[in-house]
């Protein structure tokens, strides 16, 4: 096994953002100029040492990087197999990995001279991360959120408002994330000259999947260096949950050339793989186009997007980021799922054994670790990405676990 520095960006999309047959730029003509402008500015910023230095200073001083790689000794003993390390993205400012990307994108928006920021949000974590960096930058900020999600995530709605953002309720359709993305795209088309759209995951039209991935690569770069320092070898297995796919691709990407490192993305299995009761795109999904990208998604025989379900709002989306679709087909990454009840069990197990309350999204990755660690040998190593902390999920988890209705 090689223990040298990772090769730079081993898998790049083509000029129009294709990862193999996936990705691309499926947007209205009016957005093409903005996407091309963003792509060009991103390429310049990536090579600009001043931009990179400022980004890294803020990641360190404001966001709280680097995050620890923590050896979960008691959880390892309890599961009785592979040694489990946790990458602690839950310790970041605002409580999840999303701020890595929100910070990078707002710095780009400032370079482009944009004065207004918009974003979509499901559970509210990306909305909070965006409102946070917008407050710091002194830019106007509008967050689109489904009305149903606003009711479920009242705490995050209040946080966004404290941070000075306007939260706009979206009532169309299911009134959740997909409709919020549609509304954000409509706003962007109308106000594109002075507005930047901070998309929250490794999804959408080029350059978003590549750019969002690059802003999260810091997760994998740190983890790779940290495990080499601690164990003097690379891990056997990486595990991360996959909504749009940003925390997973951020962890996986710097290990893609390390042939002996397996990687598993864990999707939301909901109530089990029954149509409309899960969000596991690689279980029963098909090829289609949604909100800017060609990828694996959940649709019916007429190509209509299906309803999805997951206990965790951050994983509850009908399509998966195009680079994951490509890694799946290449066989470089594998994709599994955890059900709602498996995720809840992992949520409690980690909380009680390690004193770490994980986000329900991250609990899907932890649930997979609970399944595979006992079958691995004691000298093998797993890294699980704990993408966020569970504070936002406390009321929901209390309802499900204690049948208690907490009022916050």
Ligand X SMILES: *Cc1c(COP(=O)(O)O)cnc(C)c1O
Residues of span 291-330 touching ligand X by CB under 6 A: 314-315
For ligand X, give the closer residue by CB, 276 or 391: 391
Confirm whether 151 is a catalytic residue. Answer: no
Q: Which is nearer to ligand X, 24 or 388 (CB)?
A: 388
Binding mask 100-139 for ligand X (x = CB under 6 A): -------------------------x--------------
**At its nearest, how many Å lie between ligand X and the CB of residue 115?**
27
361 binds ligand X (CB under 6 A): yes
Instruction: From the candidates 312, 336, 362, 387, give the one annotated as an active-site residue.
Output: 387
Total number of residues that touch ligand X (CB under 6 A): 20
Window 210-249: contact mask with ligand X (x via CB under 6 A): -------------------------------xxxxxxxx-
Find the shortest distance in angstroms from Cβ 382 to ligand X.
Answer: 18
**Minimal distance, residue 33 CB to ligand X, in Å:** 27
C-alpha span between 42 and 104 (Å, rounded): 10
Q: Is the dihedral of CA 363, 368, 374, 376 positive or negative?
A: negative
Residue from the set 156, 363, 388, 393 that interacts with ligand X by CB under 6 A: 388
Shorter beta-carbon distance to ligand X: residue 220 or 244: 244
Residues 152-191 that bind ligand X (CB under 6 A): none
Report how far residue 128's alpha carbon sits from residue 165's, in angstroms, rounded to the nearest whole number: 9
Give the shortest CB-280-to-ligand X separation in angstroms. Answer: 13
Contacting range for ligand X; rule: CB under 6 A; set: 55-63, 107-115, 281-289, 355-363: 355-363
Residue 35 in contact with ligand X, rule: CB under 6 A: no
Given the residues 87, 98, 178, 392, the one annotated as active site:
98
**Among 94, 105, 195, 201, which residue sits at the site for ligand X (rule: CB under 6 A)?**
201
Q: Tell me how far apart the alpha carbons of residues 202 and 322 are, in angstroms, rounded to a whole number.
A: 8
User: Closest-CB residue for ligand X?
Assistant: 388
Q: How far apart are CA 275 and CA 282, in angstroms?
A: 13
Distance of closest approach, residue 333 Cβ to ligand X, in angstroms: 13
Residue 309 CB neighbours (<10 A): 15
Measured from the CB atom, the residue of 108 and 386 that comes closer to ligand X is 386
Burial class (CB in 10 A: 0-12, 13-18, 19+), 12: exposed
Smallest distance, ligand X to C-beta of residue 200, A: 7
Which of 89, 120, 183, 354 is catalytic? The answer is 120
Buried b (16+ CB within 10 A) or exposed e, 180-212: bbbbbbebbbeebeebbbbbbbbbbbbbbbbbb
Question: Measured between alpha carbons, how far is 240 from 234 in angstroms, rounded to an integer?
Answer: 17
- Residues whose CB falls within 8 Å of the CB of residue 26, separated by 6 or more in sequence, listed in order: 205, 289, 292, 293, 294
Q: Would you call 387 a catalytic residue per the annotation?
A: yes
Query: Kind and range of the H or E element at 121?
Result: strand 116-121
d(CA 101, CA 196): 14
What are the Cα distances from residue 193, in Å, to 84, 95, 169, 197? Answer: 48, 32, 24, 11
SS3 293: strand
Nearest 5°: phi and psi at 90?
Answer: -65, -20
- Residue 120 annotated to the active site: yes
DSSP 70-105: EE-HHHHHHHTSSEEEEEEGGGSGGGBTHHHHHHHH
Among 141, 359, 376, 382, binds ligand X (CB under 6 A): 359
| 343 part of the interface to ligand X, by CB under 6 A | no
- Contacting ligand X (CB under 6 A), which of 267, 387, 393, 396? 387
Residues binding ligand X (CB under 6 A): 96, 98, 125, 201-202, 241-248, 314-315, 359, 361-362, 387-388
Give the residue numbers annotated as catalytic, written as ranges.
Answer: 98, 120, 387
């Amino acid at each position: 096994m090689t223990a040298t520095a990772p090769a730079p960006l081993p898998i790049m999309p083509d000029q129009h953002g294709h990862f193999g047959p996936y990705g691309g730029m499926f947007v209205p003509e009016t957005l093409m100029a903005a996407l091309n402008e963003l792509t060009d500015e991103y390429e310049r910023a990536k090579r600009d040492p001043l931009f990179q230095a400022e980004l890294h200073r803020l990641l360190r001083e404001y966001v709280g990087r680097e995050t620890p790689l923590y050896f979960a000794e008691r959880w390892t003993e309890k599961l009785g197999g592979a040694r489990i390390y946790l990458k602690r993205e839950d310790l970041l400012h605002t409580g999840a990995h999303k701020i890595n990307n929100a910070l990078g994108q707002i710095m780009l928006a400032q370079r482009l001279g944009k004065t207004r920021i918009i974003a979509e949000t499901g559970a509210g974590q990306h909305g909070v991360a965006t409102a946070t960096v917008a407050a710091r930058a002194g830019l106007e900020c509008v967050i689109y959120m489904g009305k149903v999600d606003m009711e479920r995530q009242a705490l995050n709605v209040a946080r966004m408002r404290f941070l000075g953002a306007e939260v706009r309720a979206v009532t169309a359709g299911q009134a959740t994330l997909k409709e919020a993305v549609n509304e954000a795209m409509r706003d962007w088309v109308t106000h594109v000259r002075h507005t930047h759209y901070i998309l929250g995951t490794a999804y959408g039209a080029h350059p978003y999947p590549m750019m969002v991935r690059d802003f999260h690569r810091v997760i994998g770069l740190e983890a790779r260096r940290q495990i080499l320092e601690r164990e003097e070898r690379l891990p056997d297995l990486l595990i991360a949950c996959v909504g749009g796919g940003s925390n997973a691709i951020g962890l996986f990407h710097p290990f893609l050339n390390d042939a002996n490192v397996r990687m598993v993305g864990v999707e939301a299995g909901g109530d089990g793989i029954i149509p409309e009761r899960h969000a596991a795109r690689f279980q029963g999904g098909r090829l289609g186009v949604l909100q800017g990208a060609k990828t694996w998604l959940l649709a019916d025989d007429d190509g209509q997007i299906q309803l999805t379900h997951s206990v965790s709002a951050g994983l509850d989306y009908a399509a998966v980021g195009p680079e994951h679709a490509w890694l799946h087909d290449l066989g470089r990454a594998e994709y599994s799922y955890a059900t709602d009840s498996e995720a809840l069990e992992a949520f409690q197990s980690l909380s009680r054994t390690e004193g770490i309350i994980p986000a329900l999204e991250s609990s899907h990755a932890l649930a997979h670790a609970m399944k595979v660690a006992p079958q691995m040998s004691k000298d093998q190593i797993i890294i699980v990405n704990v993408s966020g902390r569970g504070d936002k999920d406390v009321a929901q988890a209390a309802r499900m676990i204690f049948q208690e209705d907490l009022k916050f």
